[in-house]
Structure 1
Amino acid sequence: MPHAFDPELAAALTMMEPTDLSDLAAARAAQKARLAAAVAAADTTGVTVTELPGPGVPLRLYRPAAAGSAPLPAVYRIHGGGFTMGHPDVDHEANLRLTRALPCAVVSPEYRLAPEHPYPAGLDDCYAGLCWLAEHAAELGVRPEALAVAGDSAGACLAAAVALLARDRGGPSLRLQYLDSPSLDDRLTTPSALRFIDTPIWNRPSALLSWDAYLGAGVPGSPDVPVTAAPGRATAAELAGLPPAHVTVMELDPLRDEGIDYARALLAAGVTTELHLYPGTFHGSALVRHSAVARRMAEEEVAVLGRALAW
């Protein structure tokens, strides 16, 4: 069906490849090739990038070179990819930009992917990486009292779940959870999840395959899926005591309404929450970096995280 896309985004659609999770091996191979080219072309000037062994899960640390060893706030940023794809390289350029702009340290975990490693493997990796970061803050030049967790799409689901685990397990204190186009609800029963079956980058068929891979075939939509797997299932009572949240949603995205619903549930739980919907956008619109709306998204991320992590 026709969609009222932002004109700049619509013009870029012919150059964007769809995500086809039905052939996961091919999708991963294509993404790997694209990422290799993008990483090779990325400008790392002014940023020191270090690969860390982490706690059994590799971590990538970005620091502004001019900061030396001075302790900095840190953003623990989890890449997206439908739980089945991706690598820290997905966010490499964005992490470089964020490191320079704030300035801050950015840490990205290379968590295990489904379906080879279904829930809770990826979440366990992400939480272990956050704890390791806090425990090694002094040697990494990070201020453990100034941490935020962030992610987009499936990465935002993992970020929201990490915030839940940190609260429940007495883990690192977080100043903010930044959830960009979050995938939060395996039931896929919202109006946007039912409507957007043909949207670019991400649509209902992709979401169905993604949740099947993460939870196991036949599990999504069943009654016993825990809130750490699908935070959109949480009641307001289950969300009380979480760190402040910033939720960003795209207008023409099957994930739109679950992000709005989650923001409303957080507010009902007494969690300070800001919600921003970008009109005319689809899932992954930030990839069209030259567009005005993508520039606004990037500027907002810097401003929101900057306020939360202010010295």
Structure 2
Amino acid sequence: MTTTTTATRPRPPFDPELEAALTLIREQMPVTFTPELIPAMRSGFAGEAVLAEIAERGLVVRDVTIAGHAGDDIVVSVIERPGRTGTGPGIFHTHGGGMIIGDRWLGVPMFFDLIEQQNAVVVTVEYRLAPEFPDPYPVEDCYAGLAWTGANLEELGIDADRLIIAGGSAGGGLAAGTALLARDRSGPALAGQLLICPMIDDRDLTVSTEQIDGVGVWDRGSNLTGWNALLGDRRGTDDVSIYAAPARATDLSGLPPAYIDCGSAEVFRDEDVAYASRIWAAGGEAELHVWNGGFHGFDMMAPHAAVSRASVAARMNWVARILGV
């Protein structure tokens, strides 16, 4: 499959190792995801591989049905090591997938070492996807999962002062939105928010969205597909909640410490940098990393690359510091 570059601005170059990986990626997925591709995209994101890794590591999983948005049933999965006793850190996880694809297993392997080595517990939520379930379903489902976690800390064996929220891409945006909801609804308390290349701005007005158009991974057209599915005709208007698109929040005070990362050659770069800057402007804590030459999701798609290894190490170093492990 050939790549057609339609970007209207010059863009930062891809890291050479990552650019080589893009050749293989292009053989497996299109540059731009359109609404017609959503069913096919979903079929490629089953969680069997992650469940197989969980089984191989000997971890324990249990599914719990809880009340999501509007009282409907949704599922959260609790992952821990067998025979676990005592208390430890907790990670509430919101998966990526552009608001339209993915499942609760996407992204959780990054926490397996914490589960094994630091007695951590991961709770990952199966929020409902757009366009069938548009805003506010996804973020409210995520908040419902976080609220359930916060109400069951003792039973889960999670230290009340060591619970963080974490997500990548759309999951990063949902984590940011859920953290805002937790602030505005007075809990549950969070020790940190891990926002991995978060999808937080529906307005399509940044320089980076113009640069990454018809090139890379999750380009401008794909991003518009995701936001249009979530928001419909409200996208880009004044009728969009800060919880759906956290970049719209005018008050970023009172939030837990944030870790925000992204690539220099991805759509989300400018909105993510701006979010960190506005947290600082509000007197908050944010650690920001912009990885030179990174396309969206580069660390997952090209884990062998030096920049990928560096990004994962920096991310997990922050998690260790926040959780005190």
Q: Same fold (TM over 0.5)?
A: yes
Q: 1:258 aligns with which of 263, 271, 276?
A: 271
Q: 1:293 matched to which residue of 2? A: 307
Q: What amino acid maps onto 1:195 in structure 2?
A: Q
The answer on 1:221 being equivalent to 2:236 is yes
Residue-pair matches, total: 305
The letter of the residue matching 2:287 is E
In the TM superposition, residue 52 of structure 1 has moved relative to its aligned partner by: 2.2
Alignment of 1:202-213 (within 5 A): 202-213=218-229
Q: Per-residue CA shift, 1:40-94, capped at 9, x if unaligned? A: 356642532222223332111122336x121111011111000011102212422
Residue number among 221, 228, 248 corresponding to 2:261 in the alignment? 248
Q: CA deviation at 1:136?
A: 1.1
1:162 aligns with 2:178: yes
* CA shift for structure 1 position 38: 5.2
- After TM superposition, list the pairs within 5 Å mapping 1:31-42 onto structure 2: 31-32=45-46, 35-37=47-49, 39-40=51-52
1:98: how far off?
Answer: 4.1
Contact 1:118-1:213 at 8 Å conserved across structures:
yes
Q: Hey, what does 2:197 align to over in structure 1?
A: 181
Stretch of structure 1 that moved more, 35-44 or 115-124: 35-44
SS in 2 for 1:134: helix
Residues of 1 paired with 2:291 and 2:118: CA distance? 23
Check the 8 A contact 1:76/1:148 in 2, yes or no. yes
Given the alignment of the two structures, is residue 45 of structure 1 paired with residue 57 of structure 2, yes or no? yes
The aligned residue for residue 122 of structure 1 is 138
Establish whether residue 57 from structure 1 lines up as the match of residue 74 from structure 2: yes
Residues 48/40 of structure 1: CA separation in 2 closer, same or farther (3 Å cut): closer
**Equivalent AA in structure 2 for residue 161 of structure 1:** G
State the superposition RMSD in angstroms.
Answer: 1.9
Q: In the alignment, which residue of structure 2 is the partner of 1:152?
A: 168
Match of 1:105 in 2: 121
2: CA distance, partners of 1:120 / 1:101: 36
The residue that corresponds to 1:281 in the other structure is 294
Deviation by residue 1:138-176 (Cα, 9 ceiling, x = unmatched): 111112221111111111111011111111111111111
Q: Deviations over 1:209-244 (max 9, x none)?
A: 11000011x211111212111110112xx1111111
Indicate if the aligned counterparts of 2:259 and 2:315 stay in contact, CA closer than 8 A.
Answer: no
Residue 282 of structure 1 and its aligned partner are, at CA, apart by: 0.2
Query: How many angstroms apart in 2 are the aligned matches of 1:272 and 1:279?
Result: 23
User: Which structure 2 segments of 5+ residues have no match?
Assistant: 6-10, 68-72
CA shift, 1:301, in A, is 2.1
Bigger shift: 8-17 or 172-181?
8-17
**C-alpha contact (below 8 Å) 2:93/2:108 kept by paired residues:** no
- Between stretches 14-23 and 181-190, larger displacement belongs to 14-23
In the alignment, the residues of structure 2 paired with residue 101 and residue 196 of structure 1 have an alpha-carbon distance, to the nearest angstrom, of: 39
For residues 145 and 57 of structure 2, the distance between their equivalents in structure 1, rounded to whole angstroms, comes to: 26
Letter in 2 for 1:72: G
| Distance across 2 between alignment mates of 1:295 and 1:124 | 33
Q: Determine whether 1:194 maps to 2:210.
A: yes
- Tell me the SS of whatever aligns to 1:31: coil
Measure the CA separation in 2 of the matches of 1:173 and 1:206: 34
Give, in whole Å, the separation in 2 of the partners of 1:11 and 1:98.
31
Taking the aligned partners of 1:58 and 1:87, their CA distance within structure 2 comes to 11
Structure 2: how far apart are the matches of 1:215 and 1:133?
A: 27
Q: Residue 3 of structure 1: CA displacement?
A: 5.9
Task: Give, in angstroms, the shift of residue 182 of structure 1.
Answer: 0.8
Q: Distance in 2 between matches of 1:6 and 1:65?
A: 40
- Amino acid of the residue matched to residue 60 of structure 2? T
Q: Specify the SS of the correspondent of 2:307.
A: helix
Deviates more, 1:151-160 or 1:298-307: 298-307
